[in-house]
Amino acid sequence: MIKLYDTGVYLIDGTEVIPDKDQAQERLLQRVGRQVAKDAARQGTIAHQILESHAQSSDGDRLSLCFDALASHDITHVSIIQAARAVGLEKFAVPYILTNCHNSLSAVGGTINEDDHDFALSAAKKYGGIYVPPHLAVIHQYMREVVAGGGMMILGSDSHTRYGALGTLGIGEGGGELVKQIIGKTYDIERPEVVAVYLSGKVEQGVGPQDVALAIIGAVFKNGYVKDKIMEFVGDGIAGLSVEFRHGIDVMTTEATSLSSVWCTDEKVKQYLFAHGRADAHKYLAPARIAYYDGLIHVDLAAIRPMIALPFHPSNTFTIADFKANTEDILHKLAQEATTLFGSGRGQLGFSRHVREGRFHVDQAIVAGCAGGTYENISAVADILEGQTTGRGSFSLCVYPSSQPMYISLVKSGIAEKLLNAGVVLRTAFCGPCFGAGDVPASHSFSIRHTTRNFIHREGSIPSEGQIAYVALMDSRSIAATAVNGGSLTAATELELEYSRPDYRFSPDVYEKRVYKGFGKPVPQEELRMAPSITDWPPIPELTEHLLLKVITVLPDQVITTDDLIPSGEISSFRSNPLRLAEFTLSRKDPMYVGRAKEVHALERIRQSGLDPCAHSSELSAVFAKLRSIVGIGSWHAKTVGLGSTIVARKIGDGSAREQAASSQRVLGGSANIACEYATRRYRANLINWGILPFVLDDAPALICSSYIFVPNIRQAIETHRNEMTAYVVGGDVQEIRLALGELAANERQILLAGSLINHYRSK
């Protein structure tokens, strides 16, 4: 059902694929009457057209972009505004939408969640922003309904910033990149490659957008086929998909690790925007007659079957039919993975209890957020459950419509009544189940969800305390089919059913009456609503001439996510106090990390005060004795040799765009990451924006915790554009290694030299 091309391709008239092989130019000559240069054909993609229209400047393949709008939610917007204030913010230079859909529950830490909401509203007034109150809409649904349109670019501080179905290039990045836009700077990036996703055929009844998305993710995540690239959806299969169906596929492209996504647009998109009162936002988008793509994913929609992504990643995919046919073998492998993650005995207990009489049973189901909580998905659930019941047992089903206007339409159409009568619990617009802060299941329970992620901690459990639950991703249709069967796993295609597909009627009144719209109308005299939980960023030093790093944790996992680095869920409530939040860094992966980081940071503060930290640490004194005898670095120079901690990993930074995964390391004195690979561009950018050096080392896992790494002349290396450098590992002896930084843009070098984005732009 999924085919990956092993070469680039030429796409002719949006339908004919010519692989970039030996006979490609001859075939082009026959087909279009001329040969076509590859670089010229690259300009025929939709993505190229949009990027060029937003480029303020370009230097070869380096683009400096400005966006049409920005979006943040309440895990990120306070820290972004605080960082912008630190560099002299006077007004928002770009329309900035502040939604409040993540920390919407005032349940942890007293008043801190509502304090942040008050702060955001006051900031929207003072600097000219747009404020969407809690429970009105999840971030991406509001952007779909009110902002996104053909040919636009939107930057969001959430990894699932995807509005490609409307013809918008949406990019999710850490807060530092939004700070740059807020103060009128550019987003600098190497020109991304573009991969075509060619959709053909028509989906079978009962197959939903999550099924298509999971099939694609399962095919491309592990091999990195679309990593940091733009996925461009083309092909005749698009016409048979509704716009909401396209949204459901599109938002999940984040889990394939792509940079962004965009679709051909058509009359259905025009009608969608017209229904939302924004007909002028429509633009017909299609590739030029000849377009070159750096790869192609062919998706036969007719061959897609209901899918399940088992713990602990959206790429751990099977068809539901295959899982049911091979339950014992698949669960055995999954239990082995759980044992590796959680320790012996815990994983097996969690899975075996769910198999009864040869069938797999789940305890909980959720349909929510930007992926699941759309009108069509919820309507399909109602069609399946009409006249049925979710039962009186432990199984439960909760549905979160993704906006209040949508909720109104669900009520008016009778869909809400069908759901409530079947025993479904209807919630307000809230992203909690997507990041572990809502409907947390019981320990060892199994939850199926039409949401975006099923990482560890995304269900809200705390494995280090023996609280372990599991999340699998499925489409809402198969979730409803499972509910009808009392929690026994069931694919929607096993049911005989006609779907009603009622019309969605957008009700804008709730936004008109509740959303504060202040872009272009800043009120400088407005006082910011501060609170005890909202603190400024602590001072961060600039990069020193030389750097001594202590390895304080080595993470052996194949992939480290941002949730591993700084847990989501209730811990996110502390996001507006950098030092308080940092106390939870790696708390569920390496509980000793914070203590070790503080020990190194204490010695660095001694250095910054002008004293010799070797006098306070015999270990450090011994390290420098070895370095002096072998490297000949001379005596300790307190002003030129910085001391910081570092994390070592294989592949690090998959998942969320939250910059706190990097900033929490930095405020604890973290100066570098050393990894074989960085999972996403956005995590590497977060490191750079917080002055953390993103080193690459092929055999990074061979480094030992508590060893030291001396990087001489690091400042000079960055100033002179040297991307590789010699470093020295000090353990039982001293060994020479080669560290690489990879390509760095000019402003990225300046940020690293300054020690952080705040320092760099404040100096200007």
Q: Is the pLDDT of residue 344 over 70?
A: no
* Residue 473 near residue 216, CB atoms below 8 Å: no
Tokens representing 466 are 């023996």
- What average pLDDT does the chain have? 91
Q: Which of 498, 198, 493 has the alpha carbon at shortest distance from 319?
A: 493
Question: What is the strand order of the sheet 194-200 is part of?
Answer: 2-4, 295-300, 194-200, 230-234, 260-263
Distance from C-alpha of 370 to C-alpha of 166, rounded to nearest angstrom: 15
505-535 per-position pLDDT tens digit:
999 999 999 999 999 999 999 999 998 889 9
Distance from C-alpha of 226 to C-alpha of 216, rounded to nearest angstrom: 11
- Sorted by sequence, the CB contacts under 8 Å of residue 325 that are 6+ apart come out as none
- Axis-axis angle for helices 404-412, 375-385 (nearest 10): 40
What is the predicted pLDDT for the residue at 710? 95
Distance from C-alpha of 450 to C-alpha of 431, rounded to nearest angstrom: 12
Tell me what the mean pLDDT of segment 56-78 comes to: 90
What is the predicted pLDDT for the residue at 685? 94
The pLDDT-based confidence of 433 (bands split at 50, 70, 90) is confident
What is the predicted pLDDT for the residue at 351? 77
* Residue 560 near residue 649, CB atoms below 8 Å: yes
Q: Where do we find the tokens 């048979």?
A: 240
User: Per-domain residue ranges for the chain?
Assistant: 65-188, 307-490, 546-763
- Sorted by sequence, the CB contacts under 8 Å of residue 289 that are 6+ apart come out as 12, 13, 32, 44
Quote the distance between the C-alpha of residue 625 and its chain's center.
44
Q: Is the pLDDT of residue 106 over 70?
A: no
The pLDDT-based confidence of 464 (bands split at 50, 70, 90) is confident
Tell me what the mean pLDDT of segment 416-432 comes to: 92
What is the predicted pLDDT for the residue at 285? 98
What is the predicted pLDDT for the residue at 583? 94
Q: The dihedral of CA 747, 750, 751, 752: what is its sign?
A: positive
- Sorted by sequence, the CB contacts under 8 Å of residue 250 that are 6+ apart come out as 162, 163, 164, 165, 233, 261, 263
Secondary structure (3-state) at 553? strand
* Residue 130 near residue 517, CB atoms below 8 Å: yes
* Residue 181 near residue 281, CB atoms below 8 Å: no
Asked if the 65-188 domain carries CATH number 3.40.50.300, the reply is no
Secondary structure (3-state) at 658? coil
Strands 194-200 vs 295-300: parallel, antiparallel or unpaired: parallel
Residue type, 178: L
**CB-count exposure of residue 644 (10 Å: 0-12, 13-18, 19+):** buried
Residue type, 545: E
687-732 per-position pLDDT tens digit:
999 999 999 999 878 899 999 999 999 999 999 999 999 999 998 8
Q: Same CATH topology for 65-188 and 546-763? A: no
Distance from C-alpha of 649 to C-alpha of 700, rounded to nearest angstrom: 7
What is the predicted pLDDT for the residue at 634? 58
Burial 218-231 (b: 16+ CB within 10 A, else e): bbbbeeebbbbbbb
169-221 per-position pLDDT tens digit:
999 999 999 999 999 999 999 999 999 999 999 999 999 999 999 999 999 99
- Sorted by sequence, the CB contacts under 8 Å of residue 70 that are 6+ apart come out as 92, 94, 95, 96, 97, 154, 155, 156, 157, 178, 181, 182
What is the predicted pLDDT for the residue at 108? 65
Q: Give the pTM.
A: 0.93
* Residue 689 near residue 659, CB atoms below 8 Å: yes
70 against 336, higher pLDDT: 70
Distance from C-alpha of 557 to C-alpha of 245, rounded to nearest angstrom: 35
* Residue 659 near residue 76, CB atoms below 8 Å: yes
**Which of left, alpha, beta for 436 (phi over 0: left; psi -120 to 50: alpha)?**
left
42 against 503, higher pLDDT: 42
The fold of the 307-490 domain, in CATH, is Aconitase; domain 3 (3.30.499)
Q: Which helix (H) or strand (E) holds 234?
A: strand 230-234
Distance from C-alpha of 489 to C-alpha of 362, rounded to nearest angstrom: 7
Number of H helices, E strands in the chain: 29, 34
* Residue 97 near residue 69, CB atoms below 8 Å: yes
Q: Is the pLDDT of residue 463 over 90?
A: no
* Residue 712 near residue 722, CB atoms below 8 Å: no
Q: Is the pLDDT of residue 630 over 80?
A: no
What is the predicted pLDDT for the residue at 346? 57
Residue type, 280: D
What is the predicted pLDDT for the residue at 571? 76
Tell me what the mean pLDDT of segment 331-355 comes to: 75
Tell me what the mean pLDDT of segment 124-129 comes to: 97
What is the predicted pLDDT for the residue at 416? 95
**Backbone φ and ψ of 228, nearest 5°:** 60, 25
Distance from C-alpha of 649 to C-alpha of 703, rounded to nearest angstrom: 9
**Least confident range of 134-138, 158-162, 652-656, 720-724:** 652-656
* Residue 678 near residue 625, CB atoms below 8 Å: no
Q: Looking at domain 546-763, what is its CATH homologous superfamily?
A: Aconitase, domain 4 (3.20.19.10)
Q: Which of 496, 404, 471 has the alpha carbon at shortest distance from 204?
A: 496
Distance from C-alpha of 39 to C-alpha of 99, rounded to nearest angstrom: 40
What is the predicted pLDDT for the residue at 638? 58
The pLDDT-based confidence of 658 (bands split at 50, 70, 90) is confident
Tell me what the mean pLDDT of segment 478-499 comes to: 94
Strands 708-711 vs 546-555: parallel, antiparallel or unpaired: antiparallel
- Axis-axis angle for helices 243-250, 209-220 (nearest 10): 30
360 against 455, higher pLDDT: 360
Q: Is the pLDDT of residue 107 over 90?
A: no
CB count, 10 Å around CB of 705? 14
Q: Is the pLDDT of residue 439 over 90?
A: no
Q: Which of 121, 119, 147 has the alpha carbon at shortest distance from 133?
A: 121
